[in-house]
């Protein structure tokens, strides 16, 4: 297992390109199950999650080949498999997106209940409710969703939930409705750009879908879907992460391949904190927009609420918390999508942040500086927040469990190092922890106490997922 050793305190400078959106690429890959002809997907990042889903699709009869650094070709060569096994699905929640396509194309699906990041309760009841409304027979046995239907039928489906609409649920029901008999209407559909990209992909295969980008979708079922050549939209979460990195380090960073129209809430909130962001003219042959961020000498406090799109994404909540830990005054961050998504708070406190939690909110008293420490990542976006905080902190920081980062950011250390960061990926062992972060450096601790502490840490450690 690897860890990062980050030397902070250097303003980032230079240009960096945003990859294709992971949260669009994964459901689109899953929906390729429904295509009768070959599918080419462009600007697909080489991530652990992408590789995991490619392996799962391989077990479901698809040939998945990486054509170059940014392109995948997918082709169905066997339509008989219908079981998405636990050993692969448990690694990544987005694997549940094969449920709708399998059911619609093959009439049966047996999909393990999903795993993924530990960020709070994320049931799939809305997925199942929507598929049942289309005529599927669904039951849960031995940890698997068992779904079957001789032929799906169009119907009215309502997908509103306690914390808003469901992104993956919308994708699953939308995929199933595309091959159902008749017309389906989906109310309270998710409006996220990744859902729109998913719908546009299905339309390029021959699906008939109206209303993308609104809470009301109308789908007229078709008999078959062909192939396509589709480019994934830019990753707005990765773009936000790089913008915040430039701001927190008081740097000057140009971020290429952005889609500002997908990031209105993010850009507005960054400007509210005093961050200077300008859109600059892209060079010939460039895709997407280019944004330049310049970090201020002092950040302003702000109140942030993570909300469904077009609000501030929950996937940038942790990164904004890292930013606001250095802002003047008192800031408040509330997550109304995943109210328990605050496992990064304790680790930011280890770096010198002053944060305490009040229910679904975190109260942040800005500090003048952060200082390096040993921290541990709990999920993908928490990992990104710790990297950002480490880049802005004085001295060295060790970040453990960076495998979370590899799920959603392609070679993030190399890309940030190209901006002047100092991040080393090393084996997670005591010898690679900088001397100034060693427990015994300048401190006398009796050996028996160390042994007891190690024993407690071992028994208290959370189970890996």
* pLDDT one-digit tens code per residue, 145-180: 999 999 999 999 999 987 778 999 999 999 999 999
Is it the case that residue 452 has pLDDT exceeding 70? Answer: no
Task: Provide the 10 A C-beta neighbour count for residue 355.
Answer: 20
* Class of residue 80 by CB neighbours under 10 A (exposed 0-12, middle 13-18, buried 19+): exposed
Same domain, 203 and 287: no
Residue 395 lies in a domain: yes
Residue 144 lies in a domain: yes
Same domain, 306 and 441: yes
Same domain, 243 and 155: no
Same domain, 172 and 201: yes
Active-site residue list:
117
Q: Which residue has the tokens 């650094």?
A: 69
Q: How far is CA 416 from CA 21, 254, 421, 424, in A?
A: 18, 12, 6, 11
What is the C-alpha radius of gyration for the chain, rounded to an integer number of angstroms? Answer: 23
Same domain, 11 and 31: no
Same domain, 271 and 189: no
Same domain, 375 and 302: yes
Q: What is the pLDDT of residue 335?
A: 95
We report the CATH number of the domain holding residue 224 as 3.65.10.10
- Residue where a domain terminates, one of 178, 213, 231: 231
Q: What is the pLDDT of residue 246?
A: 98
The H helix count followed by the E strand count for the chain is 15, 28
Average model confidence (pLDDT) across the chain? 91
451, 461 Cβ separation under 8 angstroms: no
Rounded to an integer, the average pLDDT of 314-329 is 98
Give the chain's domain count: 2
- Residue where a domain terminates, one of 178, 206, 231: 231
Residue 276 lies in a domain: yes
- Spatial distance between the Cα atoms of 252 and 249, rounded to a whole number of angstroms: 9
Is it the case that residue 119 has pLDDT exceeding 60? Answer: no
Residues 329-385: pLDDT tens digits? 999 999 999 899 999 999 999 999 999 999 999 999 999 999 999 999 999 999 999
50, 41 Cβ separation under 8 angstroms: no
Residue 173 lies in a domain: yes
Same domain, 433 and 406: yes
DSSP 325-337: TTEESEEEEEESS
Residue 312 lies in a domain: yes
- Spatial distance between the Cα atoms of 81 and 150, rounded to a whole number of angstroms: 16
- Residue where a domain terminates, one of 187, 206, 231: 231
Same domain, 223 and 265: no
Residues 435-447: pLDDT tens digits? 999 864 444 444 4
Q: Which residue has the tokens 């790089």?
A: 242
31's enclosing H/E stretch is helix 22-31
Q: What is the pLDDT of residue 68?
A: 83
Token pair recorded at residue 258 = 């952005």
Same domain, 146 and 246: no
pTM for the full predicted model: 0.91
Q: What is the pLDDT of residue 35?
A: 98
Same domain, 73 and 166: yes
Residue 465 lies in a domain: no
Residue 441 lies in a domain: yes
- Spatial distance between the Cα atoms of 254 and 246, rounded to a whole number of angstroms: 9
Question: What is the band of 115 on the pLDDT scale with cuts at 50, 70, 90?
Answer: low
**Structural domain of 272:** 2-19+234-460
- Spatial distance between the Cα atoms of 438 and 396, rounded to a whole number of angstroms: 11
Same domain, 14 and 38: no
Residues 233-251: pLDDT tens digits? 999 999 999 999 999 999 9
């Amino acid at each position: 297992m690897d860890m990062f050793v980050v030397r902070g305190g250097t303003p980032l400078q230079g240009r960096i390109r945003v990859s294709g959106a992971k949260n669009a690429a994964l459901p689109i890959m899953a929906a390729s199950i429904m295509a009768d002809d070959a599918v080419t997907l462009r600007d697909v990042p080489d991530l652990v999650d992408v590789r995991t889903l490619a392996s799962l699709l391989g077990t479901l009869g698809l040939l998945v080949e990486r054509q170059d650094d940014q392109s995948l070709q997918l082709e169905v060569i066997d339509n008989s498999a219908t079981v998405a096994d636990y050993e692969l699905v448990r690694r990544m929640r987005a694997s549940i997106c094969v449920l709708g396509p399998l059911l619609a194309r093959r009439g049966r699906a047996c999909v393990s209940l999903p795993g993924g990041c530990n960020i709070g309760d994320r049931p799939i009841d809305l997925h199942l409710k929507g598929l049942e409304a289309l005529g599927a027979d669904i039951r849960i046995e031995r940890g698997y969703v068992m779904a079957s239907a001789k032929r799906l039928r169009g119907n009215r489906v309502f997908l509103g939930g306690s914390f808003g609409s469901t992104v993956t649920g919308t994708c699953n029901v939308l995929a199933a409705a595309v091959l159902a008999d008749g017309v389906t209407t989906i109310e309270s559909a998710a409006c996220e750009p990744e859902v729109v990209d998913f719908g546009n992909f299905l339309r390029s295969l021959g699906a008939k879908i109206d209303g993308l980008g609104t809470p009301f979708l109308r789908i007229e079922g078709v008999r078959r879907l062909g192939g396509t050549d589709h480019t994934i939209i830019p990753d707005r979460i990765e773009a936000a992460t790089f913008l915040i990195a430039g701001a927190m380090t008081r740097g000057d960073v140009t971020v290429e391949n952005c889609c500002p129209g997908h990031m209105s809430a993010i850009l507005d909130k960054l400007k509210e904190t005093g961050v200077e962001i300008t859109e600059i003219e892209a060079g010939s042959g460039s895709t997407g927009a280019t944004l330049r961020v310049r970090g201020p000498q002092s950040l302003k406090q702000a109140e942030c609420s993570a909300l469904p799109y077009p609000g501030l994404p929950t996937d940038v909540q942790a990164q904004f918390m890292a930013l606001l830990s250095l802002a003047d005054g008192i800031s408040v961050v509330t997550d109304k999508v995943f109210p328990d998504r605050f496992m990064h708070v304790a680790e930011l406190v280890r770096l010198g942040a002053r944060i305490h939690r009040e229910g679904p909110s975190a109260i942040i008293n800005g500090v003048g500086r952060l200082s390096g420490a040993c921290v541990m990542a709990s999920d993908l976006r928490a990992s990104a927040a710790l990297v950002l905080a480490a880049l802005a902190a004085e001295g060295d920081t060790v970040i453990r469990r960076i495998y979370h980062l590899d799920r959603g950011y392609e070679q993030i250390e190399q890309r940030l190092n190209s901006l002047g960061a100092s991040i080393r990926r090393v084996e997670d062992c005591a010898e690679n922890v900088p001397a100034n972060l060693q427990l015994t450096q300048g401190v006398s601790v009796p050996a028996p106490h160390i042994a007891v502490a190690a024993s407690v840490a071992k028994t208290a450690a959370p189970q890996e997922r």
